[in-house]
């Protein structure tokens, strides 16, 4: 049987997967966002993961937002966002909608893999939806599995091909397993197989929760050092000389994974009358770093007999992490908006921010006229910002720079 894959959801995860599959298969890329599809057809990726010329070279991806166009496909990979509601509950609406779309075109022997981050048991819920909508039976008429995405946007070292790929499905059907191997061997050089789908779902969330907790610990150590007037960087320099010290850094935790995934596991645990402690504490610490930074800014300006309202402020680094255009859950951006609400003349610099944000908020690619600012606040650590920092030091005293997370000094 000829394999015709369809990737549903063409964001930071879905587009690289579609691009990888298109090297071997006639691939369809589906997204509900009509504007996204039109841009991709023109070779434009507003996420800045691909340059225009790179996308134009991809010949075997059929970009579409029309369900009928994917009717011929027989291998579906779901890469839709799974955010949280304002009250921190998991929001599975995108995934449920994608599941219903597949149900309209699903045929006998089709294969479905979910890559979106979920809590354990969601793949089974999607299976139930499909069975109800189609009257087809899982592991007999169609086959559904879970393969957690591990894409790290902006990372040129840990690429899609280099990251080990967990592939979990319960079937023992050799023809189906052979088809799955052909697809995922094209995506990654190393496949880790499992028949325990719930274990695969759980493994994804705890990968990100572990990192969230480790950063929270370093944020707390930073806060303690500030209170005790101890040099944080010197503490870390000494501590990391021990072979088993984990060299995490403090910082603002944003994006589509780390601030979201802990709630996927803790909310499910709560339904089983288990209250998470460490996971919840980590989230509280990391969310609280916004107020910490704002208090630093207030104290910094107070020493100059100024305040936020009457100061010239420049904030450096707005995306949730440097090197990407993604503004989702960016605490950097949240700080910028809070400061700007008190002082509309507040400016920002970040060359990675997309055009829409740059125009709306007047965000610069680099810092202009260093000497005119009362404070320049560095919220991100990146080689580009290091160069900006060096330029400022040459032209202006370090005392005008605020570095809340000790990235530069």
Q: Are 26 and 158 found together in one domain? A: yes
Q: Are 61 and 186 found together in one domain? A: yes
Residue 227 covered by a domain? no
Residue 143 covered by a domain? yes
Residue 247 covered by a domain? no
Q: Where is the domain boundary, 195, 222, 240?
A: 195
Q: Are 166 and 41 found together in one domain? A: yes
What's 312-375 look like in SS3?
CEEEECCCCCCCCCCCCCCHHHHHHHHHHHHCCCCEEECCCCCHHHHHHHCEECCCCCHHHCCE
Q: Where is the domain boundary, 162, 195, 228?
A: 195
More confident residue, 132 or 360: 132
Residue 91 covered by a domain? yes
Residue 244 covered by a domain? no
| Mean pLDDT of the region 74-102 | 96
Q: What is the CATH number of the domain that holds 9?
A: 3.40.50.720
More confident residue, 45 or 33: 33
Q: Are 152 and 36 found together in one domain? A: yes
Q: Which residues participate in catalysis according to the annotation?
A: 257
| Mean pLDDT of the region 309-330 | 90
Question: How many domains is the chain built from?
Answer: 2
Candidates 62, 55, 69, 78; CA nearest to 25 is 62
pLDDT tops 70 at residue 60? yes
pLDDT tops 80 at residue 170? yes
Instruction: For 252-283, write each residue's pLDDT tens digit.
Output: 999 989 999 999 999 999 999 999 999 999 99
Q: Are 167 and 295 found together in one domain? A: no
Structural domain span for residue 305: 291-409
Q: Are 187 and 301 found together in one domain? A: no
Q: Where is the domain boundary, 195, 223, 251?
A: 195
* CA trace torsion 203, 208, 212, 215 (10° rounding): 110
Predicted structure pTM score: 0.92
Residue 336 covered by a domain? yes
Residue 401 covered by a domain? yes
- pLDDT confidence bin for 396, thresholds 50/70/90: low
Query: How far is Cα 75 from Cα 104, in angstroms, rounded to an integer?
Result: 14
Residue 264 covered by a domain? no
pLDDT number for residue 254: 93
Q: Are 17 and 156 found together in one domain? A: yes
Instruction: For 336-383, write each residue's pLDDT tens digit.
Output: 999 999 999 999 999 888 888 888 888 988 887 777 889 999 998 777
- pLDDT confidence bin for 184, thresholds 50/70/90: very high
């Amino acid at each position: 049987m000829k394999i015709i894959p369809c990737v549903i959801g063409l964001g930071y995860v879905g587009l690289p997967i579609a691009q990888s599959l298109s090297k071997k298969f006639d691939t369809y890329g589906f997204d509900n966002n009509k504007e996204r599809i039109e841009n991709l057809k023109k070779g434009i990726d507003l996420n800045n993961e691909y340059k225009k010329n790179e996308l134009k070279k991809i010949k075997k991806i059929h970009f579409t937002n029309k369900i009928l166009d994917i009717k011929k496909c027989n291998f579906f990979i779901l890469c839709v966002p799974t955010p949280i509601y304002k009250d921190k509950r998991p929001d599975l609406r995108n995934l449920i909608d994608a599941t219903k779309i597949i149900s309209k075109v699903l045929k006998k022997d089709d294969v479905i893999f979910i890559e979106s981050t979920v809590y354990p048991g969601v793949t089974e819920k999607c299976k139930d939806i499909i069975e109800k909508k189609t009257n087809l039976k899982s592991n007999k008429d169609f086959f559904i599995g879970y393969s957690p995405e591990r894409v790290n946007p902006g990372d040129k070292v840990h690429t899609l091909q280099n990251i080990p790929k967990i592939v979990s499905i319960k079937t023992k059907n050799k023809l189906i397993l052979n088809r799955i191997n052909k697809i995922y061997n094209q995506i990654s050089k190393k496949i880790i197989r499992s028949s325990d789908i719930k274990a695969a779902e759980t493994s994804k969330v705890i990968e990100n929760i572990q990192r969230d907790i480790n950063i929270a610990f370093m944020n707390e150590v930073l806060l303690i050092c500030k209170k005790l007037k101890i040099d944080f960087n010197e503490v870390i320099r000494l501590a990391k000389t021990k072979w088993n010290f984990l060299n995490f850094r403090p910082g603002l935790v944003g994006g589509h994974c780390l601030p979201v995934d802990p709630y996927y596991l803790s909310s499910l645990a709560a339904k089983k009358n288990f209250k998470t402690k460490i996971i919840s504490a980590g989230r509280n610490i990391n969310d609280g770093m916004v107020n910490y930074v704002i208090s630093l800014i207030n104290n910094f300006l107070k020493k100059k007999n100024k305040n936020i309202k009457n100061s010239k402020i420049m904030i450096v680094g707005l995306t949730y992490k440097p090197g990407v255009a993604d503004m989702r859950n960016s605490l950097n951006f949240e700080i910028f908006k809070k400061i700007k609400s008190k002082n509309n003349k507040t400016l920002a610099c970040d060359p990675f921010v997309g055009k829409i944000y740059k125009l709306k908020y007047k965000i610069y690619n680099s810092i202009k006229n260093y000497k005119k600012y009362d404070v320049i606040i560095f919220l991100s650590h990146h080689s580009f910002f290091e160069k900006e920092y060096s330029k400022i030091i040459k032209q202006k005293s370090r005392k005008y720079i605020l570095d809340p997370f000790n990235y530069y000094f």
